Amino acid sequence: MQIYDDLVYIKNSSLALGYFDGVHLGHQVVLNNAVHIAKKTNNPSSVITFKEHPLNYLSDVHIPQILTIDERLEKLSLLDIDNVILLDFNKYSHIKAAEYLENVLIKYFSPIAITTGFNHSFGFNKEGNSKFLSLNKDKYGYKYFEVPPLVIDENIVSCSVIRNKIQLGDFQSAAKLLGYNFFIRGTVIKGDQIASKLGYPSANIHYDENKVTIPHGVYYVIASLNGKKYNGILNHGYAPTFDNEEKLKTEIHIIDFNQNIYGKNIQVEFIAKIRNQNKFSNTEKLKEQIKRDIAFAQIYQYFLQGRNDISLKRFNNGL
């Protein structure tokens, strides 16, 4: 997959248009259609997207990301796409739809086909939409494909719905819409060693401020390290038992693992929320709860397989 930081001439492209944050299952229908047409006609598939979310320019509200730009490109590379063109939205935000279509899409890509989602828009005041692209297909000689909304478990697969699921800690629902588990990546850094003193050494990582936020709490996660996967429990938030309400931490205890991994890159997939953060009266009660958290993580794979229906309350009695 070739990545370009600005416009480049790629004639007879089968185009897919969109920001594609998350590269979720709905996005994949759009992208796979563009790739299918490209292969069928022996032409290149090209994705035109933006480096930053357009709404970050159009409103005062910062839109948190499901994927960083590097993660987004990595997901796109798995779909057999030939080219990705990363544009600066601010450079094109004031161009009218007709001008953008003729002087960008047609001029540089002379597309044989254009595929978008049902709610895609472009150009000043969002004048360029599905109807606009359909009306102009004969004039410019391309085929246009509008992908209708994909619905899973009565949820329209969209970035806004997925972000909401993640922000609520509903990772199972988010995964069904994404097609993979929501994850974060980072380099293991040295923390305050509190967990190690309790007998549960942890790896601290920085939670990217541009990523979708998750609720403070304890989670069952899967850690990928050096090409291997491990079960773990992750604490995201503060340390109320130790009256630390200032320093936000994201730390993972990898179960049955005892290696020095400072400076190593780690990926953490969120599977399920175990509990909220609690302030315990002493460290012994905290250690007892951590044991229950680990027990939950160790058997949760059976939940995923539908073998058991065990309530979280069993692991959080009285909490």
Tens-level pLDDT at each residue, the chain (319 residues): 999 999 999 999 999 999 999 999 999 999 999 999 999 999 999 999 999 888 777 777 788 999 999 999 999 999 999 999 999 988 988 899 999 999 999 999 999 999 999 999 988 888 899 999 999 999 999 999 999 999 999 999 999 999 999 999 999 999 999 999 999 999 998 766 565 556 577 889 999 989 999 999 999 999 999 889 999 999 998 866 655 666 788 999 998 888 888 889 999 999 999 988 776 757 777 878 888 888 888 888 666 655 444 444 454 544 4
Residue pLDDT, tens place only, 212-245: 999 999 999 999 998 899 999 999 988 666 556 6
Taking the CA of residue 106 as centre, how many other CA atoms within 13 Å lie in the half-sphere pointing to its CB? 16
Which residue segments constitute the domains of the chain, with CATH numbers given? 9-149 (3.40.50.620), 182-305 (2.40.30.30)
Among 150, 72, 88, 139, which Cα is nearest to 111's?
139
DSSP H or E run through 109: helix 107-109
CA 57 to chain centre: 20
Q: What is the pLDDT of residue 233?
A: 93
| Contact by Cβ (8 Å): 21, 65 | yes
Q: What is the pLDDT of residue 17?
A: 97
DSSP H or E run through 183: strand 183-187
Among 85, 158, 94, 88, which Cα is nearest to 127's?
94
Measured N-to-C along each axis, helices 159-167 and 171-178 cross at an angle, to the nearest 10 degrees, of 160
| Contact by Cβ (8 Å): 255, 271 | no
Q: What is the pLDDT of residue 312?
A: 46
Q: What is the pLDDT of residue 193?
A: 58
CA–CA separation, 99 vs 109, rounded Å?
A: 14
Residue pLDDT, tens place only, 73-125: 999 999 999 999 999 988 988 899 999 999 999 999 999 999 999 999 988 88
Does residue 52 sit in helix, strand or coil?
coil
CA–CA separation, 11 vs 6, rounded Å?
A: 15
Q: What is the pLDDT of residue 318?
A: 40
